[in-house]
Copies of this chain bind each other. A is one copy, B any other.
Amino acid sequence: MSYQIISRNEIQSFMKRAMIAVGTNISHAEILSDVLVAGDYRGHFSHGLNRLELYLEDITTKACKADGEPTVLKESAATAWVDGNNLLGPVVGKFCMNLAIKKAKESGIGWVVAKGSNHFGIAGYYSLLALEHNLMGMSFTNASPLMATTRGKEPFFGTNPMSLSAPANNGDSYVLDMATSVVALGKVELADRKGESIPNNWAIDKDGEQITDPKKLNALLPLGGVEKSSGYKGYGLAMMVEVFTAILSGSAVAPNVRKWGDNHITANLGQCFIAINPGSFAPGFNGRMSDLIDSCRNQEPAAGQPNVLVAGDPERQHMEKCDTQGGIAYHINQIDFANRIASRLNIEAPKILK
């Protein structure tokens, strides 16, 4: 059996133990582990336990601060500019989103940007916080350069993800959580490990030529692919994310963000968190959301296609599967990796459920 199941509580508790063992403030370790387990639970395994080592290293090398609080540098009823003070990304993100939520409840909109932040895990974690208050939430981050601009050939923007969550009736919702590149780096790496080729509109080589051999990867393409297939729109969206994060906040910008893998350098990422109170606009928002979501899902699918989904449904299906099986199914390589961390840090390894 190449997968083993660990309960959500147990894997979160393990990641928290690990972060505390390298000197992270306890509540920071709590927040970080909550974000990482949300990544795995929602099926985004690249942004969960898989990233724990990166955060441990950030704290160990002091590239990232283990203790402290973000600072509000400028504030109005609907806006705030925050210094993340080089704390863990999830600590900065949760602080900012909670501030945006408070402002949206009072002013209809809360628009908060942060400089001095770090990797914050899945963007959806933060937009989802707004749902708990029956608000819409949005989150954005810039990142290490991996994506070329249209007509460019070198990595320029990060995969610059964006998320929007909107509440519907009875706990239903729409949760968009997407990179503005065609695909995430992980999909190209996975093809490489499996010895498979990739579609020719995902990435380019050193000369800017489209590739199918993942080993030739120099940069990912923006959503849409090359210019002919409207990749300039994805490029424009990646720049929108950069404007909302780095340009508004004064953090490191696009090609000046530390290179992917340069984990000893301060990242100084920019992030943006927005909360919107639908109650400031037409009454009946949740009902209209439910109608829209249901009419998407209830369409007759195209020939040979499975049911139509809305953004957030694949994650919902994954969470239901986890709930049924009592936890998250990790590949044994991931569990070996966790066990090695446990020995190294002299902490209890995560208990396997089955």
B291 near A253: Cβ-Cβ < 8 Å? yes
A151 near B292: Cβ-Cβ < 8 Å? no
A230-271 interface mask toward B, CB cutoff 8 Å, 1 = contact, 0 = none?
101111110110110011111001110000000000000000
Q: Which residues of B contact A232 (CB under 8 A)?
A: 309, 311
Does A58 belong to the interface (CB within 8 Å)?
A: no
Does A86 belong to the interface (CB within 8 Å)?
A: no
Instruction: Give bound CA distance, A246 to B166, whole Å.
Output: 13
B76 near A247: Cβ-Cβ < 8 Å? no
Q: Which residues of B contact A326 (CB under 8 A)?
A: none
A221 to chain B, nearest CB (A): 10
Q: Which residues of B contact A178 (CB under 8 A)?
A: 233, 236
Does A94 belong to the interface (CB within 8 Å)?
A: no
B240 near A164: Cβ-Cβ < 8 Å? yes
Instruction: Give bound CA distance, A234 to B281, whole Å.
Output: 26
A296 to chain B, nearest CB (A): 6
Binds B, one of A24-32, A39-47, A103-111: A103-111
Does A139 belong to the interface (CB within 8 Å)?
A: no
Identity of the chain B residue whose Cβ is nearest the Cβ of A178 in the assembled complex: B233
Does A92 belong to the interface (CB within 8 Å)?
A: no
Identity of the chain B residue whose Cβ is nearest the Cβ of A311 in the assembled complex: B236
Residue of B107, B136, B299 touching A154 (CB-CB under 8 A): B299
In chain A, residues 135-190, which have Cβ atoms closer than 8 Å to a Cβ of chain B? 136, 148-154, 156, 164, 166, 174, 176, 178, 182-183
Does A280 belong to the interface (CB within 8 Å)?
A: yes
Residue of B74, B228, B229, B310 touching A281 (CB-CB under 8 A): B74
B207 near A303: Cβ-Cβ < 8 Å? yes
Instruction: Give bound CA distance, A201 to B291, whole Å.
Output: 29
Instruction: Give bound CA distance, A106 to B89, whole Å.
Output: 31
Q: Which residues of B contact A300 (CB under 8 A)?
A: 152-154
A247 near B308: Cβ-Cβ < 8 Å? no
Does A54 belong to the interface (CB within 8 Å)?
A: no
Known A242-B292, A303-B153, A310-B239: A108·B76 in contact at CB below 8 Å: yes
Binds B, one of A282-290, A328-336, A346-354: A282-290
Does A18 belong to the interface (CB within 8 Å)?
A: no
B153 near A289: Cβ-Cβ < 8 Å? no
Instruction: Give bound CA distance, A156 to B300, whole Å.
Output: 12
Does A278 belong to the interface (CB within 8 Å)?
A: yes
A159 to chain B, nearest CB (A): 12
Instruction: Give bound CA distance, A201 to B154, whole Å.
Output: 26
Does A23 belong to the interface (CB within 8 Å)?
A: no
19 residue pairs from A and B, CB less than 8 Å apart? A78-B108, A81-B280, A151-B301, A154-B300, A178-B233, A199-B229, A209-B303, A223-B223, A232-B309, A236-B311, A237-B237, A243-B292, A247-B292, A250-B282, A250-B288, A253-B288, A253-B291, A253-B292, A254-B292
A residues at B contact (CB < 8 Å): 73-74, 76-79, 81, 107-109, 111, 113, 115, 136, 148-154, 156, 164, 166, 174, 176, 178, 182-183, 199, 201, 204, 207-209, 223-225, 228-230, 232-237, 239-240, 242-243, 246-250, 253-255, 276-278, 280-285, 288-289, 291-292, 295-296, 299-303, 305-311
